[in-house]
Amino acid sequence: MKYQKPKGTADILPPFSKEWQFVEQNARETFALYNYEEIRTPIFEKFEVFSRSAGDTSDIVTKEMYDFDDKGGRHIALRPEGTAGVVRAFVENKLYGPEHQKPVKVYYMGPMFRYERPQSGRLREFHQIGVEAFGSDSPKIDVETIMMGMDFLKKLKVSGLKLVINTLGDKESRDRYRQALIDYLEPHFEELSDDSKARLHKNPLRVLDSKDKNDQKIVENAPEILDFLTEDAQKHFTSVKEELDTLGVDYVVDSSMVRGLDYYNHTIFEIMIADSPLGKGDVTICAGGRYNGLVEELGGPEVSGVGFGLGVERLLLLLNAETQTTLQSKQLDFYVVGIGDLVQNDVLKVVHELRQMNFVTEQDYLDRKPKAQFKSADKLNAKYVVTIGESEMNDRVFKLKDMHSGEERTVALSEINTLKDLLK
RNA sequence: GCGGUAUUGGCGAAGUGGUUAACGCACCGGAUUGUGGCUCCGGCACGCGUGGGUUCGAUUCCCACAUACCGCCCCA
């Protein structure tokens, strides 16, 4: 093979591209109901946009960034996630200005890049759909974001949804908790895994998320963030829970849940799927939360934000079999069979007219015999076949065959408009 | 970044250190000089991921590289 796609990339071919369109369309429709509008930002940004926002200790920055120096010597990175670029655009375009209704609600969808070892459902170029809302500290917007994510997944008929929430509190809560965690973990330092040792002082919250069995055991009795919340943080989280209760949404609080990105605080949430093609047990399909402070971090005013992101490749694996079958099935209204060179002009006109009537219409382009053309019509799942041979041409008619029933009748060319009623 | 497995026609898949690389599906043609879904017949890999090496001779052995998949790490 002379050329292969770059490692960790994928071609999205028909009919699977239909599934992508389906997901994207449902996302647009769902978000529109919540009055979110689309924002499109560059696929690459200055490296610092991501390193500043994600946190210097995050894995994304330290080892997964797809970065390079361009010809002008600029340090560029392909976006590893959507939020940083949106925040940069929010600040640069001064969407925090008084003329913009708050909160500013936007969504995006598109490719993201992480330089890592590909595995199934994990590519170097992958796609995310995400939303962000800026300018409200109200728990209402936290809840709305969560509901929107749930609605979207429900609309796609993804089953087994499970909502898990937690809070990271505000800065004060987090600082207090951070210290408590360090105090708790330090006596166990020697028992910790190497990764956790490294994280203990840089970002102790991440230790909670360790996959190491022994770490998990140590962490089991660690102090919980919920006990270190300031009054305000406590209130915020309580409101979020109450509103979810009001809406009758089931959820569980997992106080050990953290985030891979450093910019989150207050409410964080994950929508998980129990036992799915993604793996046994609960797997996260959609993750998000609040990120007050990030706008300032990127040079803007003190404006809060909340959002979520979800991976499209993973989501597609969760579409149920019926949805996939429906989306992938071929459907043609008409196939026009022409017999002989003399009728080509009539075929041309009929095909054109059928398309003008909004019928999905196909014809033969390979000068094949009627038998082969009918075979194609069958393969393409055509509902009707129009046949034009020399005799039909001379009589100014065409044959119309219902491929399902097999019935065939003759229609005058001048009456072609009556076909409008055929398919409702 | 580390470890394991794999790579044969459009797809699936057998196979051997030696002058014909099974089979199935799909596709094309014919049986049926203008009509599909069934049947029968025929066609379809100067080639076995790429590049080296060993050998009289390699798709089959060795090495390197590429890519895919699985696991670790991490996460979407």
Predicted-complex ipTM score: 0.84
pLDDT band at A57 (very low <50, low <70, confident <90, very high): low
- For the stretch A192-246, pLDDT in tens is 777 777 777 777 877 777 767 777 778 888 888 888 899 999 999 999 999 999 9
DSSP-derived secondary structure letter, A61: I
Cα dihedral A310/A313/A317/A319 (nearest 10): 60
pLDDT exceeds 80 at position A170: yes
Q: Nucleotides of chain B within 7 Å of a protein C-beta?
A: 1-3, 27-30, 32-37, 49-50, 66-76
pLDDT exceeds 90 at position A60: no
Kindly determine whether the C-beta of residue A411 is less than 7 Å away from any atom of nucleic acid strand B. Answer: no
Q: Is A132 annotated as a binding residue?
A: yes
Tokens 């071929």, residue located? A330
Q: Report the 10 Å Cβ neighbour count for A44.
A: 19
Kindly determine whether the C-beta of residue A409 is less than 7 Å away from any atom of nucleic acid strand B. Answer: no
Find, among A372, A411, A365, A405, the residue nearest to A388 by Cα: A411
Ranking A56-60, A182-186, A271-275, A416-420 by mean pLDDT, the lowest is A56-60
pLDDT at A291: 92
In angstroms, the CA A193 to CA A223 distance is 19
- In this complex, the nucleotide whose C1' atom is nearest to the CA atom of residue A313 is B76
**What token pair was written down for A225?**
């963030």
pLDDT exceeds 80 at position A398: yes
Which domains, ranges and CATH numbers included, belong to chain A?
A: 16-150+258-324 (3.30.930.10), 330-421 (3.40.50.800)
The A 145-174 residues near strand B by Cβ under 7 Å are: none
Q: What integer best gives the mean pLDDT of chain A?
A: 89
pLDDT band at A58 (very low <50, low <70, confident <90, very high): low
pLDDT band at A99 (very low <50, low <70, confident <90, very high): very high
Q: Is A211 exposed, middle or buried (0-12, 13-18, 19+ CB in 10 A)?
A: exposed
pLDDT at A218: 80
How many angstroms is C1' of B32 away from CA of A353?
32
Q: What is the DSSP string of A198-265?
A: HHHHH-GGGGGG---HHHHHHHHTS--GGGG--HHHHHHHHHHHHHHHHTT---EE-TT---SSTT-E
pLDDT at A171: 85
Strand partners, A290: A265, A306
Q: What is the mean pLDDT of residues A150-172?
A: 92
Beta-carbon contacts of residue A190 (< 8 Å; ≥ 6 apart): none
Outline where A100-193 has alpha helix (H): 139-155, 171-185
How many angstroms is C1' of B41 away from CA of A332?
32
